[in-house]
């Protein structure tokens, strides 16, 4: 018998906020390496400014209240207390939609996106396009973390989210959307639970990363393979340490808020459509709300586990198998990798919408919430009658 969700409200103790500010005051910064800014990782001057604002100007209570404005719950599921937002749709027949975030994200990514999906009329849209949105914190992330709890692979997260939507919340079928790990989880749901899946929408295309996957590539495929080779050589250091020695890294990032901000902040810059200045894509306070949630919950170490599971296990979609449910994809120009449709169609057999977006990057829900909401509505509209 499924557990009953219990209402939840976030309230970080005052003492934890004071402790954070005191730690930030004692930050020891390294020197700046003798090269161009950001050449070897997070720029020292940028991080000094971020830490100063975190200590003196950032209002955690304001962002805590933004999250608490949404109905939140916890439910005993798969051996943990799983946190999720459930925001009811305002329309004649809202479609249930599961939103899955990734790393280094959290449910804070979705605070501007959710209202555009639950109440499209408020933003000039059609109430018939409304969704009832369920946005869980991934197991091991933020409010779905407690010390000592079990760790989850993407496959296990997909199964637990499917149980949440079907057994706990009672949806016979549901839509699913995700980016980053959320795209793996969403794809796995479509593969492993097609009978419960109306369709899936992705804003990252999670294909196998093999530079030799095509013997005679087209020009578009060659462009992607060249980008992939650079990515594997220059941009995957974080994956190797998180996927092989996550516990060792967790000591530093759990003890040093500046270290945590440097580790996550570098990804906000590298993966967003920001022209080298993170704040052009994502507001400083929005970045810090996300980083603060990792800090206050102590969940950074457990958030690495999907990398370890992925590096030491099979690909979430088995060799020779495909995702066969209706699929939509929004290709944002500054996504970390942008495979061509010809390669995606090898893994996803029913791609019904493929949109090349004018702006935006990896954190699409934060960078371009209106554009992403539009794409989700457009993709799922024809599926509402199936």
CA 36/CA 25 separation, integer angstroms: 27
**Which listed residue (19, 53, 220, 308) is catalytic?**
308
- Beta strand 131-136 with 174-178 is unpaired
Q: What angle do CA 54, 62, 261 make, to 5 degrees?
A: 25
Output the 3-class SS for 357-384.
CCCCECCHHHHCHHHHHHHHHHHHHHHH
Angle between helices 60-68 and 284-297 (to 10 degrees): 80
Residue 179 and residue 365 in contact, taking contact as beta carbons nearer than 8 Å = yes
**Which listed residue (159, 180, 285, 286) is catalytic?**
180
Q: What angle do CA 63, 43, 360 make, to 5 degrees?
A: 55
State yes or no: is 180 an active-site residue: yes
Residue 354 DSSP code: E
Closest-CA residue to 297 (of 62, 23, 13): 13
CA 324/CA 346 separation, integer angstroms: 11
The residues near 159 (Cβ < 8 Å, ≥ 6 apart) are: 78, 192
**Which listed residue (101, 334, 362, 374) is catalytic?**
362
CA 42/CA 36 separation, integer angstroms: 11
Active site residues: 180, 308, 362
């Amino acid at each position: 018998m499924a557990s009953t969700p219990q209402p939840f409200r976030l309230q970080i103790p005052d003492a934890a906020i004071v402790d954070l500010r005191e730690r930030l005051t004692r930050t020891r910064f390294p020197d700046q390496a003798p090269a161009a800014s950001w050449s070897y990782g997070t720029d020292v001057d940028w991080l000094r400014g971020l830490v100063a604002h975190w200590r003196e100007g950032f209002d955690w209570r304001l962002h805590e209240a933004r999250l608490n404005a949404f109905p939140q719950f916890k439910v005993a599921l798969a051996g943990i207390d799983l946190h999720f937002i459930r925001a009811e749709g305002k329309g004649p027949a809202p479609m249930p939609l599961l939103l899955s975030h990734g790393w280094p994200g959290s449910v804070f990514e979705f605070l501007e996106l959710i209202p555009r999906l639950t109440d499209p009329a408020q933003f000039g849209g059609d109430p018939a396009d409304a969704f009832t949105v369920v946005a869980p914190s991934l197991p091991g992330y933020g409010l779905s973390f407690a010390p000592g709890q079990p760790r989850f692979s993407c496959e296990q997260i997909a199964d637990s989210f499917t149980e949440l939507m079907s057994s706990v919340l009672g949806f016979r079928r549901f839509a699913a959307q995700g980016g980053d790990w959320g795209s793996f989880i969403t794809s796995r749901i479509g593969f492993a639970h097609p009978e419960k899946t109306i369709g899936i929408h992705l804003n990252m295309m999670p294909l196998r990363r093999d530079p030799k996957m095509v013997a005679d590539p087209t020009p578009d495929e060659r462009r992607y393979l060249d980008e992939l080779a650079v990515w594997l050589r220059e941009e995957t250091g974080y994956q190797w340490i998180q996927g092989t020695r996550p516990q060792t890294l967790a000591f530093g990032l759990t003890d040093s808020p500046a270290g945590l901000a440097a580790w996550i902040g570098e990804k906000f810059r590298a993966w967003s459509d920001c022209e080298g200045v993170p704040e052009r894509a994502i507001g400083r306070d929005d970045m810090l709300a996300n980083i603060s949630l990792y800090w206050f919950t102590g969940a950074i170490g457990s958030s690495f586990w999907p990398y370890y599971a992925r590096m030491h296990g099979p690909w979430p979609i088995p060799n020779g198998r495909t995702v066969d449910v209706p699929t939509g994809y929004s290709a944002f120009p500054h996504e970390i990798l942008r495979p061509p449709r010809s390669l995606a169609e090898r893994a996803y057999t029913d791609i019904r919408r493929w949109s090349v977006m004018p702006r935006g990057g990896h954190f699409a829900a934060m960078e371009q919430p209106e554009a992403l909401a539009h794409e989700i509505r457009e993709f799922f509209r024809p599926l509402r009658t199936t």
